[in-house]
Structure 1
């Protein structure tokens, strides 16, 4: 009788361990999937001439549209005006066939161009500075 009870409890204990491991792995996999689906910050920002900063992620659409990642209220900016995206370790800017064009350091963007720190981006009447996130300390627009 004791041997039967001992063997039964041993199997119950093993089943509980497997159940615990199953739930633990299920939670870890769900957490990893959730982490992958969240956009990753690049460590760079756009700072406009009013001192507003916009955090940049792996893919950023800029425009007036409600579904743009960075929404800019300016009548001279198209609904989907420009795209800033990561390719490898580089961040590139490209014009999305906007009406008034996208300019990088006063030159019109006609193909994807690499962004470098302190580059000046002009969209419509708005000017932005491309900066590392930690270099911004003021909201007075003194970086432009």
Structure 2
């Protein structure tokens, strides 16, 4: 999978995605998700291209961190559920992402949702080249993407 970081926004979750998620579950009274005290949601938008020879599945859960300097934030279980809401929303718009499997030479959107301290600004993204950022052998190889200072 080849991954391109498109953007990071730290101004909450997309209202259209939240509305779609509420409509799809039939829970029109679902409260708006709120981050942990003292934190804010940051949404990482990426594009993934399957450069392999078979259908591939991939998402940001356990494979991507959003970093503030030397501090690495990964998705919590709740954050991963919000990221899945993004994947389902874009799937409903005809943009099938690798979370649902994409064929060779196909491209689709991937989203990660992270909670970082309110006063902080993300500085980089780590994308593991394996199936997890860490395993019993330590940090896995991957790619560090520096973010513009205006993120």
Report if TM-score (shorter chain) is over 0.5: no
TM-score range, shorter chain: under 0.3
Calculate the TM-score normalised by the size of structure 2.
0.24
Bigger relative contact order (CA 8 A; separation at least 6) = 2
Structure ranking higher in helix proportion: 1
- Rg bigger for which structure? 1
Calculate the TM-score normalised by the size of structure 1.
0.24
